[in-house]
Structure 1
Amino acid sequence: MDLSNSYLNKPNLKTLSLDTENQETPIHFITDGITPTKYFYRRNHFSYPNLNQQSLLLPVYGEVNTPLTFPYCYLRSMPGRSIVSVLECSGNKRAYFNPKTYGDQWQDGAISQGIWKGVSLSNLLNLTGIKNTAKEVLFIGQDQGTRTDLDGIFNYAKSLPIEKALHEDTIIAYELNKSIIPYEHGFPLRLVVPEWYGMASVKWLKEIQVIDYKFEGPFQTIDYVYYPNKYNDKGAVPVTTIKINSIIKQPLNYSLLDTKTHEIFGIAWTGSGTITDVELSFDNGSTWKKTNLYGKSSQSYGWSNWRYLWEVKDKGEYTIMCRAKGSAGNIQSLEAIWNRKGYGYNAVYTIHVKVE
């Protein structure tokens, strides 16, 4: 039996939960710069929503001069904007926190990179005209359900400060990887907010409201907040910009290798500036060796690929550490900042291999 083209030789999404559906990208086996849509990670807070004809209309109202409702077909007829951007769940790598934190135990695959096309949100807001009283822009999704900590039914909803909402690359997307956004990823319309963790990129957009107050919905002020203390909320700050991070794609952790030259490769990314260097250490961080960056996205929102040729002559066990540096002066540290909900893990990436 020829298995060369069978599903047995292809990666699959890694399922963390089915209700709601949360699945990881097989990131260690994706060599394309753009993540194929079928391998995009899935992060849901509720069951998938039921859509109807009303879902093809996007109302924009609130602190605006002219409230408008934009039909899906009209949005697609407007001047489009395409961006290449990382989408990363803020809980990516949660499984590595010590002590452990509660929630889906994401490892490395709550991250993907796509070509997003849509219309700049600023174009819509300019058409409606923002009042001087506006403070935030609120995005409400079609998806809804109950929570374990509060009574009632909630729609997934998040807000952005006016400045971030007006950035030209904050878009209302209708395409992913040059095709209509799949239902699982937010069809017909989803917000895409480059540089910020994926919780800001609201799927299945139902409506946009310009508000004159600070939004305090549960996904804004309870979830997606860094709580540095286990038993109280002192020092809590919102989760926003993606932290500098990296992974070693290959070799895999606890691989068996032989004595020859091996290619070590992976990706690095950041929400602040761009990646300038990725370094490896083979002596527990005493010295660091630069890798070769390549295949960098033409836009600052994409990850950087890197590779390193490692010539190993001696048998034994090795620890390989990886860290990224950025143009904003940011660098991965040896330890991530622990927080109660397990967001933003970005410690130096470490694998162990044995050479036989």
Structure 2
Amino acid sequence: MSSARYPGAKPSLIVRKLHPENQETPIHFITGDEIDHKMFYRRNHFSYPTLTYSNYWLPINGSVVSPRIFSVQDILKLPSRTITAVLECAGNKRSLFEPKVFGEQWENGGISQGRWKGVPLRTLLELTGIQAGATEVVVEGYDYGKRTDLDNIYTYARSLPLEKALHPDTIIAYAYNDQPIPFKHGYPLRLIVPQWYGMASVKWIKQVSIVDSPFKGPFQSIDYMYYPNKENDNNSFPVTTINVNSTIQRPLNMEVLDTGKHIIKGIAWTGKGFISKVEISTDFGKTWSYANIMNQDQERYRWFSWSYEWVVLEKGDYTIMVKATDSHNQSQPTSPFWNRKGYGYNAITKIKIRIE
């Protein structure tokens, strides 16, 4: 439902699954660059955990010189860092894969962004010290449950290579858009890993452990792996950096428009560098024009808004295509990299329009 056509209407999250809760952002009806927490997409593997702020502590252990337990007040006293960053579910646009793949059938709304404030994970690790030979940092959440493929109970846990964990913009966040992080998005502490897909940004942090061997938890070694073969696990590799991508917000797919002038608008983003150009075709890829990128001087972890003025005088059916390119010369491909679990879809964006 368009709030522009129905002034009293308000967009709402789009339900993909109720238990556990998985809902996507109504990205086509979002007009700003910072998403209110009520419209931020929700991706859960299990039910929400039960936590109390008063009994919350953050242990850092493993291959460290001096294991420590931090209170939230300890963390709030440390020098903070605020970053605006895209968080994108690795399964965003999964519904577009052909042949179809199993999993939550996300359309275009498994993505949101806003301002995160917290303490660099590096700061806490410097206070504990890291032993020689350490290779990864494991972050475990309080959310847990039984997996359908394994006969056991697991907490949600992921690891980062030491280099990524020590990046100054990898933060343990406690605020979102100048307010405490809402419970459904990881309160009181969650990890934010810019440039990587959202599975790395663990919510409701239970503990941080430094290890000297590869972490093999199921959300590291089974899920969030690219499996290019349908029948076996050959040539698999881990999901990490966000692919260059774009979404058309206006007009809507299958919309009917009049002849005349129309503004085509949307967002583009990447996990490497920044968006250097956005190209648009209104004739199914026969010719391409440059869209106007409105905020190229922004922080590199954000999405880039773009627009294009389309003058159409002939009635008929049209396919609009958008292709983003980043500063590392990566462009959206014509066809997606098909993989069995449906991660990282980033093929050229397409919608169909009828002019009457």
TM range (shorter): over 0.9
1:273–1:300: 8 Å Cα contact kept in structure 2? yes
What's the CA shift string for 1:3-29, capped at 9, x where partnerless? 99x995110000011100000000000
What's the CA shift string for 1:48-104, capped at 9, x where partnerless? 001135752100011110111110011111111000000000000000000000001
SS, match of residue 345 in structure 1:
coil
2 CA distance for matches of 1:331 and 1:152? 41
Structure 1 pair 12/317, CA: closer, same or farther in 2 (3 Å)? same
1 CA distance for matches of 2:246 and 2:140? 32
1 CA distance for matches of 2:63 and 2:8? 54
2 CA distance for matches of 1:141 and 1:253? 38
- Residue 141 of structure 2 corresponds to which residue in structure 1? 141
SS, match of residue 151 in structure 1:
coil
- Residue 150 of structure 2 corresponds to which residue in structure 1? 150
- Residue 337 of structure 1 corresponds to which residue in structure 2? 337
1 CA distance for matches of 2:30 and 2:97? 25
The alignment-based identity, stated in percent, is 54
Q: How far is 1:204 from its partner?
A: 0.2
- Residue 33 of structure 2 corresponds to which residue in structure 1? 33
- Residue 59 of structure 1 corresponds to which residue in structure 2? 59
Establish whether residue 294 from structure 1 lines up as the match of residue 294 from structure 2.
yes
Q: How far is 1:132 from its partner?
A: 1.1
Structure 1 pair 297/157, CA: closer, same or farther in 2 (3 Å)? farther
1:296–1:303: 8 Å Cα contact kept in structure 2? no
- Residue 113 of structure 1 corresponds to which residue in structure 2? 113
1:297–1:304: 8 Å Cα contact kept in structure 2? no
What's the CA shift string for 1:310-348, capped at 9, x where partnerless? 011111111100010010110001110000000000000
Normalised to the residue count of structure 1, the TM-score between the two structures is 0.97
- Taking only aligned residues, the RMSD between alpha carbons, in angstroms, comes to 1.4
SS, match of residue 319 in structure 1:
strand
- Residue 311 of structure 2 corresponds to which residue in structure 1? 311
2:267–2:304: 8 Å Cα contact kept in structure 1? yes
Establish whether residue 76 from structure 1 lines up as the match of residue 89 from structure 2.
no
- Residue 284 of structure 1 corresponds to which residue in structure 2? 284
SS, match of residue 114 in structure 2:
strand
SS, match of residue 208 in structure 2:
strand
What's the CA shift string for 1:289-321, capped at 9, x where partnerless? 000001346311000000001011111111100
- One-letter amino acid of the structure 2 residue matched with residue 47 of structure 1: S
1:296–1:302: 8 Å Cα contact kept in structure 2? no
2:279–2:323: 8 Å Cα contact kept in structure 1? yes
SS, match of residue 163 in structure 2:
helix
Contiguous gaps of at least 5 residues in structure 1: none
Query: How many corresponding residue pairs?
Result: 353
- One-letter amino acid of the structure 2 residue matched with residue 305 of structure 1: S
- Residue 211 of structure 1 corresponds to which residue in structure 2? 211
- One-letter amino acid of the structure 2 residue matched with residue 180 of structure 1: P
SS, match of residue 163 in structure 1:
helix
What's the CA shift string for 1:144-194, capped at 9, x where partnerless? 000011111100000000000000000000001110000000000000000
2 CA distance for matches of 1:54 and 1:324? 46
Establish whether residue 260 from structure 1 lines up as the match of residue 284 from structure 2.
no
Normalised to the residue count of structure 2, the TM-score between the two structures is 0.97
Q: How far is 1:287 from its partner?
A: 1.6
- One-letter amino acid of the structure 1 residue matched with residue 37 of structure 2: T
- One-letter amino acid of the structure 1 residue matched with residue 329 of structure 2: G
1 CA distance for matches of 2:266 and 2:201? 25
1 CA distance for matches of 2:49 and 2:231? 35
